[in-house]
Structure 1
Amino acid sequence: MTRTVRIAAVSDIHCTKTSQGTLAPLLTQAAREADVLLLPGDLTDYGLADEAHVLVRELAGVRVPVVAVLGNHDFENGTPDDVRGILSDAGVTILDGEACEVHGVGFAGAKGFGGGFGRFTLGAWGEAPIKAFVKEALDEAMKLEAALARLRTPQRVAVLHYAPVAATVQGEPPEIFPFLGTSRLEEPLTRFPVAAVFHGHAHNGAPEGQLTNGTPVFNVALPLLRQHRADAPYHLLELNPEPADGTPTA
């Protein structure tokens, strides 16, 4: 019988310089139930090196591989490379247009960006700042596509911070939807099919949606999961690394 791989995911933990001892119970509990722990962005609150060092200590009890992407908060101080370096040195795999394999499951990750969804997606027209905003979204979508294209595993999982669909940001004010994600991220996910997509960022969104091809999309922002799963505010997904029909079990 093929062994399943259990994935625990929680994002938007917003570790601060005073978070010592507050995140470790959650992260250790989630890892205890899983074979890999996903952290889809906003690992720190202000993108400070001191915050990253605290998070390293909070992860000390985690005994499974940790895969993450950075979020917008991790860029706030202008030193995301410091955050990435500190966590990478501690054994966390930070994906930014890259891919990795854990227990036979492939993980492709990128931060993503905003821009809106469907027919409301922002186009690259007009002033230079608008064009730059759209280019950032396109660049992040290309990063995701490049990461997905590298994977050769039967089962693939996408890790983002921003949402690729509007369904998982429902509950947030409609006025801020363009800043919570973009449909441009969905395009590579349908071109290179995945078993599941994890993201965060939308603290007041919806826990689950799906791509146009039916692939499940999970919003695992910690503030949201605390509303829906108070005792275990993380999402658990089980995958068969070599499924007969490509269908995840959860």
Structure 2
Amino acid sequence: MSQSSEPLRLAAVGDLHVTEASEHRYRDMFDEISREADVVALCGDLTNFGKPREAEILAEDLRACTIPALAVLGNHDYECGQPEEVARILHSAGVTVLSEQAVIVEGVGFAGVKGFLGGFGRGELGAFGEAPIKAFVDAALDEVRRLENALRSLKTERSVAILHYSPVVDTLEGEPLEIYPFLGCSRLADAIDRFDHVAAVVHGHAHRGAHRGRTPRGTPVYNCATMVASAATGRPYALIEI
């Protein structure tokens, strides 16, 4: 394993929901993050409808970021059916959009996927019955496989999982119970807990959830949706020492 004893300062933020009227809204935030952190994780729903123009507006603000920027896409980034174009535009601004691959920054590994919904624990949807239900569960399992494979590829002592959907119910507290199954799934936590090197998990999506939680094995999980981070920390992003 690669060795690094120095702490890494991670800024994490999700659910920016950039619209075509959001020009320069986040430029100052990325400038501040560049002074406060060593790396920034963008936890999905970066655009509001997945329009290329929305991604271009965000990319302009991201050019104020002078530290490594890693991202996963969220459900909103898929809305217009152009997630590849959204990812390409963000890449043009220096952002690494994670999916299959993992990366290492200053000795810390990063693996990321969008994740998917499906529920938690005994309430998790199983692949039984109609074909659409089986396809739904397959979509969740595919995201889990991508995450597990990326984490397995890392040989670092510390790593971070970047998600959009939540892997635990802890960080959903404050949301209506009825929508918990649409905010994440515990299959993601199962994959994370197979690896001792995961030091933290960051996600978004749950706008009214809680800021902190843990996987069943105790790995810290942070809901970094900008609305949640603002309420918990007084700034629109979380700052986490890894």
The TM-score normalised by the length of structure 2 is 0.95
| 1:1-250 map, 5 Å | 2-193=5-196, 194-230=198-234, 232-239=235-242
Separation in 2 of the partners of 1:60 and 1:145? 31
Match of 2:193, SS? helix
User: 1:98, 1:110 within 8 Å by CA — same for their partners in 2?
Assistant: no
Summarize the Cα distance change of 1:155–1:2 in structure 2 as closer, same or farther, 3 Å threshold: closer
Residue identity in the other structure for 1:199: H
Q: C-alpha displacement at 1:233, in angstroms?
A: 2.0
Summarize the Cα distance change of 1:63–1:124 in structure 2 as closer, same or farther, 3 Å threshold: same
Deviations 1:216-238 (A, max 9, x none): 000000112222233x2211112
Separation in 1 of the partners of 2:30 and 2:130? 44
User: 1:164, 1:183 within 8 Å by CA — same for their partners in 2?
Assistant: yes
Match of 1:126, SS? coil
Q: C-alpha displacement at 1:175, in angstroms?
A: 0.8
Separation in 1 of the partners of 2:237 and 2:109? 20
Q: C-alpha displacement at 1:44, in angstroms?
A: 0.7
Match of 1:52, SS? helix
Separation in 2 of the partners of 1:172 and 1:139? 26
User: 2:161, 2:202 within 8 Å by CA — same for their partners in 1?
Assistant: yes
Separation in 1 of the partners of 2:143 and 2:194? 15
Task: Give unmatched runs, 5+ long, in structure 2.
Answer: none
User: 2:63, 2:93 within 8 Å by CA — same for their partners in 1?
Assistant: no
Separation in 1 of the partners of 2:137 and 2:189? 15
Off by >3 Å, runs of 4+ in structure 1: none
Q: C-alpha displacement at 1:129, in angstroms?
A: 1.2
Q: C-alpha displacement at 1:23, in angstroms?
A: 1.2
Q: C-alpha displacement at 1:2, in angstroms?
A: 4.5
Separation in 1 of the partners of 2:164 and 2:207? 11
Taking only the aligned residue pairs, the percentage that are identical comes to 52
The TM-score normalised by the length of structure 1 is 0.92
Deviations 1:35-76 (A, max 9, x none): 101101111110011011101111121100000000000000
**What is the root-mean-square deviation in Å for CA atoms of aligned residues?**
1.2
Separation in 2 of the partners of 1:224 and 1:36? 20
